[in-house]
Amino acid sequence: MALFHPVTEGEVTKAIVVSFLRQFEEYVESDVIIVGGGPSGLIAGRELGKAGVKVLIVERNNYLGGGFWVGGYFMNKVTLRAPAQKILDELGVPYSRASEGLYVADAPYACSKLIGATCDAGVRFLSLTLVEDLVMRGGNRVAGVVVNWSPIAYLPKEVSALDPIPLEAKVVIDATGHDASVARKLEQRGVLKLAGEGALWIEKSEDAVVEHTGEVYSGLIVAGMAVATVYGLPRMGPTFGGMLLSGKRAAQVAIETLPQLKVS
C-alpha cells in the first residue's frame, strides 16, 4: 500500500499552470509593484500587505532575499544598528548584542523569517522575471513595469528576440539595490539624473538612505541601496538596519500616495 495518494503527472502540471495563471492574471494590475526582493523590497511589501494594499514583488532571480542571505564577505551573520533590531523582534528573529547599539543575527534565519512575514502579509511574487522598462502615462507618470523572462538577458541576440509584457501599477518601488535599475531607465530617457553611490561610510549612510527614501519621480519611489545610487549617498556595507527602515519608509510613502491617486 503506497504512502501517497495516487495522482497523474498531468494533474501535477495542470495544478501548477492553473494556479500560476490565475494569480498572474489577477496581478497584471496591482496597487504597488516592488522591483527587487532584497531586504528593502521585502519589508516594504510586508508593510503594504499588512495595510491591505495589493502588492506584487518582481524578482529577477529564482530566489528572494537579495543580499540578505550573507552578512558580508562569505560570512552569514548580519549586523543591525539600533533601533533596527526592533524589526528582528517583530519578525521573531533571535539576535545577540555585539557592542553598544550593535546587534548580530543569523543571516539565513533573518532572511527566511522576512520572506515568510512578507508572504504572510499577502504579497505575491514573480520570480525569474526581469524588469526591463517602465510603463509611462501622460508623458510623466510611472504607471507600471515592462517584464521579461530573466534568462533572456543571457541569451545571444539571435535567439532572444522575445517581446516583453507590461504590468500595471498605481505606484512602483525601485528596490533593485546598488544598480537602481528602474530609476536608471528614467536616466536613459533623460528625465532623471543618478548621482552614483558614494564610498562606504556606515555612520552617515544609514540615516541618509532612510531620510532620502521617497518619490523620486511621479509614481516611482526608491528604497534601499537604490536610494544611495540615485542621490550619491555613501554606501553602508555589511549592515542592514538602513535597508529595513528604508523599506518601511517607502511603504509609508506609497500608502500616502495611493489615496491621492484614487481621488484624481
Q: Which residues of the chain form contacts with ligand 48F (CB under 6 A)?
A: 35-41, 58-61, 66-68, 130-131, 175-177, 179, 181, 224-226, 235-236, 239-240, 243
Residue 131 or 136 with smaller CB distance to ligand 48F: 131
Rounded to the nearest whole angstrom, what is the least distance from the CB of residue 9 to ligand 48F in the complex?
A: 32
Outline where DSSP puts E strands in 68-162.
Answer: 77-81, 96-99, 102-106, 124-126, 129-137, 141-149
Asked if 203 contacts 226 with a C-beta cutoff of 8 angstroms, the reply is no
* Mode of pairing for the β-strands spanning 29-35 and 55-58: parallel
SS3 82: coil
Burial 176-209 (b: 16+ CB within 10 A, else e): bbeebbbbbbbeeeeebebeebbeeebeebbebb
Nearer to ligand 48F, 30 or 239 (CB): 239
- Looking at residue 60, what DSSP letter applies? S
Measured from the CB atom, the residue of 18 and 63 that comes closer to ligand 48F is 63
Q: How far is the CB of 39 from ligand 48F (least distance, A)?
A: 5
- The CB-of-37 to ligand 48F minimum distance in angstroms stands at 5
Q: Which is nearer to ligand 48F, 39 or 45 (CB)?
A: 39
Residue nearest to ligand 48F (CB): 38
Question: With respect to ligand 48F, which residue has the nearer C-beta, 52 or 117?
Answer: 117
> Taking the complex as a whole, how short is the minimal distance between the CB of residue 141 and ligand 48F, in angstroms?
20
DSSP assignment, residue 72? B
- Smallest separation, CB 1 to ligand 48F (Å): 45
The grid cell for 156 is 545571444
